[in-house]
Structure formats: C-alpha cells, structure tokens
Amino acid sequence: MEDVASARRGAAGIPRLFSLKGATGPLIGLILLCLFLSFTSDRFLSTRNFLNILDQVTVLGIMAVGMTFVILIGGIDLAVGSVLALAMMVMGYLANELGLPMAAAILVALVASAGTGVVSGFLITTFRVPAFIATLAMMSVARGLANMITDGQQIVGFPDWFNDLASIRHGGFLTVTVALAILVFLAAYLFLRYRSAGRMLYAVGGSNEVARLAGIDVRLVTIAVYAASAVCAGLAGIVLASRLDSVQPSSGLGYELDTIAAVVIGGTSLTGGSGGIPGTLIGVLIIGVLRNGLNLLNVSPFVQQIVIGIVIAIAVAAETYRNRK
C-alpha cells in the first residue's frame, strides 16, 4: 500500500520537476519567437547576441523578481521605476559628492530603497490605502527625492572596477551583473518554492482572511514583500549605474510598466496566489528577445511599443482562455 503510493508519486515526480505551473504557454511563445527570429535575422542566433540579450535584461529581470512577490500577494508596485532612480542618485551622491567608498554608498542606497518599500507596506497594511494608490504616491515621492539630491543633475564617473561589473565578461560570457541577476532569480525561486515563508506569499495572495486565520502574520508579510520589491528596484538601479557609468534622476521612467508586463506575461495572476519565478524569467526573456529581435530587424521603436502591447494582451488572453477550459 505504502509502496504503491510512493511509486506513483515517484513517477509523477519527473514531470513535476519540469512543470512550470502555468508558464508552459509563455515558454512555447518564447521558443516560437526565437525560431522565428532565427529564420528572419542572420544575426539573431549567435552566442554573442544571446549574451547581449542577457546584459540587456538584467535591470528588468531583477525588478521583475521583486514585482513577482508583490503580484503574488495580490498587490501592485508602481514605485519601482522611481525607487530605481532614487537608489542610483543616493549611491552617486554618497560616492562622488561625499566621497564614501562605493560599497558603503551601495549599501546605503539599498537601505534607502528598502525604506520606501516599508513605507508603502505600512500605508497598505496599517492605513488600508489600496496598493495601487500607496505605490503611486511613493512613485511620485521617490522621483521627487531623486531629483532633489542633485537638483535634477546627473552624476558621471565611477571607479573602473564598478563599470567593469557590467562590461567584463568573465570566462568569456558572464558579467558580474548578469551573474547577480541569475543569483537573484535562483534565490527567489528557491525561496518561493521551498521556504515556508515563500509559500506564505501564495497563501496571502490566495486569500488574506484564510491566511490570517491560519496564523500567518499578513501585515508583516505584506510589508516585507514591498520592502523586497523596493530592494530589488534599488539593486537594479545599481546595475544600471554600472552599465551607464552615470546616474541621473530621470532614470527608470516607465520601468514599472515593463516590469509588471514581464511578470504578467510570465503567467503570474494579477489577482494573486498563483504564478512564480520560472514564469517571470520567461516573461523577462520574451520582452528582451522581442526588443532585441525587433532592433535586429530594424523595426522602429514606435512599432516596437505596439508589438509589445499586443504581446501582453495575447499572453494574458491566452492564459485566461486556458483557465476557462
């Protein structure tokens, strides 16, 4: 009896390992997209181009990890683009104007980012401000703060080693920033899948009340999630600074929408409670590959916006259709 049950489970274990929980549709989309581009552009299918895509999606990817947490608990975070800019400016100001060591400047920038997330989380839990409004307010405040630091001016010129993080490909393929993004994804994946705290996000997103009655501290979880999202946005800002060798307060305008799009394309439900990191990875890659491919095909940036809009609509419509069946 026992043996039969465990044998059955063992047999089901292999497919389960590869199960993407609702992200199979986006994965098929990504593969089709890659096939299409391989045939239409002779420059698409190369290691070099692939590495370019990875470099290009690090910022979006790191932000999307935090956004996945937020959307999983049924929330939304519109502040990430502004928080990214704030982190960049705090780091740039501390390092270049005050002469702090880079490491310390980065640390303070991340702490400042976390602070914005904690404030959003408090607004949402303690003052019951809807997440959309709380983070909209934070989006405005963080952007204003980022501008105030240098009165809207950019800061240029960081130590060489800092730029090298995004430009030197160790072993011929891996920049430190890409490695960092991969680590963030891996940690988030393991956290959501194997940590009890990670599973709690699914419970909170599935139903606030069920989670609370099950003894989960919904308030703490919510605040922590918005803090995590803000830290991811701040980290993405550091990566962007390294890529650009400069920081400016207008960075990250509209990034929140790309980030939300990547998460949603990846199959995480906006109502909360279902989805996950593998889907988000695919969503991020779809946006990255699409941008890259359209550039290679010399499609104008305006048309690119239209294409990406259509992809978002198709991805969500396809998922909804599948669920209805």
Partner 1 sequence: MTSTNPVILSLRGIGKTYGTITVLQGVDLDIRAGEVIALLGENGAGKSTLSGIIAGSREPSTGAMTLDGQPYAPASPRQAIDTGVALIHQELKLLPHLTIAENVFVGRWPMKGGKIDRAAMVRRAEEQLQRLGLMIPATRQVEGLSTAQQQLVEIAKALALKARVLILDEPTASLGGAETDLLFAQIDKLRSEGVGIIYISHRLEEIRRIANRIVVLRDGQKVAEFDRGDVPVRQVVEAMVGRSLERMFPTIPAPKGGVMLSVRNLTGANGAFRNVSFDVREGEILGIAGLMGAGRTELVRAITGADPIASGEVRLGGQPLALRSPADAISRGIVMVPEDRKLQGLIVEHSIGENLGYANTDRVAAKGWITGRGLASFADASIRRFGVKGRAEQPASALSGGNQQKVVIAKWLARNPRVVVLDEPTRGIDVGARSSIYDIIVELAASGVAVIVVSSDLEEVLGVSNRILVLSHGNQAGILDRSEATDVRVMELATS
How far apart (Å, rounded) are the C-alpha atoms in residues 249 and 246? 10
Smallest Cα–Cα separation from 281: which of 27, 18, 47, 49?
Answer: 27
Could you tell me the smallest distance in angstroms from the CB atom of residue 2 to partner 1?
10
Chosen residue from 3, 4, 5, 14 binding partner 1 by CB under 8 A: 5
- 50 vs 202, which CB is nearer to partner 1? 202
CB of 139 to partner 1, least distance (A): 29
Q: How far apart are CA 320 and CA 325, in angstroms?
A: 9
Which of 249, 251, 84, 86 minimizes the C-alpha distance to 152?
249
Decide whether 50 or 191 has the Cβ nearer to partner 1. Answer: 191
Residues 15-44 that bind partner 1 (CB under 8 A): 16
In the complex with partner 1, the residue whose CB is nearer, 73 or 95, is: 73
Interactions with partner 1, residue window 178-207 (CB under 8 A): 193-200, 202-203, 206-207
Q: Specify the residue, 200 or 281, whose C-beta has the smaller distance to partner 1.
A: 200
Binding mask 95-134 for partner 1 (x = CB under 8 A): ----------------------------------------
- Report, in angstroms and rounded to the nearest whole number, the Rg of the chain calculated over CA atoms: 20
Tokens, residue 291? 């941008």
Q: What residues numbered 44-73 form the site for partner 1, per CB under 8 A?
A: none
**Stretch touching partner 1 by CB under 8 A, among 7-15, 166-174, 244-252, 280-288:** 7-15
Smallest gap from Cβ 214 to partner 1, in A, equals 4
Q: What sign for the dihedral angle of Cα 231, 237, 238, 239? A: positive
Q: What part of residues 205-264 is at the interface with partner 1 (CB under 8 A)?
A: 206-207, 209-217
For 10, residues 6+ apart whose C-beta sits below 8 A from its C-beta are none
Cα distances (angstroms) measured from residue 160 to each of 13, 114, 119, 120, 298: 48, 27, 35, 35, 33
Minimum distance between the CB of residue 258 and partner 1, rounded to whole angstroms?
28
CA dist., res. 79 & res. 17, Å (int): 34
For residues 5, 193, 277 and 137, what is the CA-based torsion angle, rounded to 10 degrees? 140
Residue found under tokens 């390092």: 95
With contacts defined by CB under 8 A, how many residues of the chain interact with partner 1?
A: 28
| Choice between 82 and 269, CB closer to partner 1 | 269
We find the least distance from the C-beta atom of residue 189 to partner 1, in angstroms, to be 13
> Does 322 interact with partner 1 (rule: CB under 8 A)?
no
Query: What is the DSSP-derived secondary structure letter of residue 129?
Result: -
Q: Which residues, at least 6 apart from 150, have a Cβ–Cβ distance to it below 8 Å?
A: 89, 92, 93, 249
Contacts with partner 1, residue ranges (CB under 8 A): 5, 9, 12-13, 16, 193-200, 202-203, 206-207, 209-217, 273-274
